C-alpha cells in the first residue's frame, strides 16, 4: 500500500464558542477555507484539534461535520492514538470506513521501549485495513520512535507514512534514505518543512497552514517540484509568524491568527490558556504584513 498523503496536509483546529462548545459554523468555514486555498488533505482530531479535551461524542460530531462539508473533495485523515493499545485497536475494529486514513501518535506518558512500540503498531495495523500514518513527536509523548523502528514498521502493508516531529534532521534523513518505495515521510515541524522536502520528504501535516493555506501550499508544492527559489520566498515570508504561533503553545497562536481573519474565535479549553495580549498584537501585525 503506497502513501497517498502527499503535499500540504493541515491539522485542523477545533473552533469553540464563548460557552466552550464546538462552533460547528466556524468549523465549516475553516474546512471551506482549506479546500479553496490549495490544501491537499485534512487531518481531524490531532493534538492541534485539542482532542484530549473533546468527548467521543464531540469527536464524532466534528468528524461528521468535516466529512459533510468536504464532500469528498480532499482526503481526510482521522487522529486516533493513545497509550492503551487494546482500546485503540477496539476503536479501529469498530470501523471508520468514511475516512481515508489514520494518524496515530506514539503512546505517551508510559514511555514504551522500541519493542513495545513495534508491538503496539503491529496490533493497530492488524485492526484495520485503513492506511496508518505513524506520528513521532517525542517532545509531547516522552518517547522517540527511532529511525530503525520506523523503518521496520514501514514494511507493514498498511503503515504508509510517518509524520516526523522529532526535530532530529539526521534521524529523519536516515528514514528517507532507507525507506521502502512508496513509504511517505511528512514533516511535523512547519519551519523544517522546506529543508526536509529538499532532503527528500513528501510533504507536511501543518499547523500554520490553518491560517495560511495558500501560501504554505505554494511553498510545499514549489519545493516538491524543485522550484526552490520560489519555495524559499514563501518559507521566509512565513518564518517569523511560525515562531510566533508556537511561542505560547499550540493552538493558541494559530487560533489567534484565525480570529484575526474572522474565521473563528480564539477560545481554547483548559488546561490550554489564551495567549498574551502582547503576542496577539504581534501576530495580528504579522498576519496583516503577510496577507496585505
Please state the three-class secondary structure of the chain as a single string. Answer: CCCCCCEEEEECCCCECCCCCECHHHHHHHHHHHHCCCCCEEEECCHHHCHHHCCHHHHHHHHHHHHHHHCCCCEEEEECCCCCHHHHHHHHHHCCCCCCEEEEECCCCCCCCHHHHHHHHHHHHHCCCCCEEEEECHHHHCCCCCHHHHHHHCCCCCEEEEEECCCCHHHHHHHHHHCCCCCEEEECCHHHHHHHHHCCCCEEEECHHHCCHHHHHHHHHHHHCCCHHHHHHHHHHHHHHHHHHHCCCCCHHHHHHHHHCCCCCCCCCCCCCCCCHHHHHHHHHHHHHHHC
* Whether the predicted pLDDT of 1 surpasses 90: no
Which of 163, 227, 255, 273 is the catalytic position?
Answer: 163
pLDDT in the model for residue 153: 98
**237 vs 2: which has the higher pLDDT:** 237
pLDDT 10s digits, 155-187: 999 999 999 999 999 999 999 999 999 999 999
- Give the active site residue among 59, 108, 135, 255: 135
Report pLDDT digits (tens) over 80-127.
999 999 999 999 999 888 999 999 999 999 999 999 999 999 999 999
Is 135 an annotated catalytic residue?
yes
CATH homologous superfamily for 7-228? Answer: Aldolase class I (3.20.20.70)
pTM, full prediction? 0.96
Amino acid at each position: 500500500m503506497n502513501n497517498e498523503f502527499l503535499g500540504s496536509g493541515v491539522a485542523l483546529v477545533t473552533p469553540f464558542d464563548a460557552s466552550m462548545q464546538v462552533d460547528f459554523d466556524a468549523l465549516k468555514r475553516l474546512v471551506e477555507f482549506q479546500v479553496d486555498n490549495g490544501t491537499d488533505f485534512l487531518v481531524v482530531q490531532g493534538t492541534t484539534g485539542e482532542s484530549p479535551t473533546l468527548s467521543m461524542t464531540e469527536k464524532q460530531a466534528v468528524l461528521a461535520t468535516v466529512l459533510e462539508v468536504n464532500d469528498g473533495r480532499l482526503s481526510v485523515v482521522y487522529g486516533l492514538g493513545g497509550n492503551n493499545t487494546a482500546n485503540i485497536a477496539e476503536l479501529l475494529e469498530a470501523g471508520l470506513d468514511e475516512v481515508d486514513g489514520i494518524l496515530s501518535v506514539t503512546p505517551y506518558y508510559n514511555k514504551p521501549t522500541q519493542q513495545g512500540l513495534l508491538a503496539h503498531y503491529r496490533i493497530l495495523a492488524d485492526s484495520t485495513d485503513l492506511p496508518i500514518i505513524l506520528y513521532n513527536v517525542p517532545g509531547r509523548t516522552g518517547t522517540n520512535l527511532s529511525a530503525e523502528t520506523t523503518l521496520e514498521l514501514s514494511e507493514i502493508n498498511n503503515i504508509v507514512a510517518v509524520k516526523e516531529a522529532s526535530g532530529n534532521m539526521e534521524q529523519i534523513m536516515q528514514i528517507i534514505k532507507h525507506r521502502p518505495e512508496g513509504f511517505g515521510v511528512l514533516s511535523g515541524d512547519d519551519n523544517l518543512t522546506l529543508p526536509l522536502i529538499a532532503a527528500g520528504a513528501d510533504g507536511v501535516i501543518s499547523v500554520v497552514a490553518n491560517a495560511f493555506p495558500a501560501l504554505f501550499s505554494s511553498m510545499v508544492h514549489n519545493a516538491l517540484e524543485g522550484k526552490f527559489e520560489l519555495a524559499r520566498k514563501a518559507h521566509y515570508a512565513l518564518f517569523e509568524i511560525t515562531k510566533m504561533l508556537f511561542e505560547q503553545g499550540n493552538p493558541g497562536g494559530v487560533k489567534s491568527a484565525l480570529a484575526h481573519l474572522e474565521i473563528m474565535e480564539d477560545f481554547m479549553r483548559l488546561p490550554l490558556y489564551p495567549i498574551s495580549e502582547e503576542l496577539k498584537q504581534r501576530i495580528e501585525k504579522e498576519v496583516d504584513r503577510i496577507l496585505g
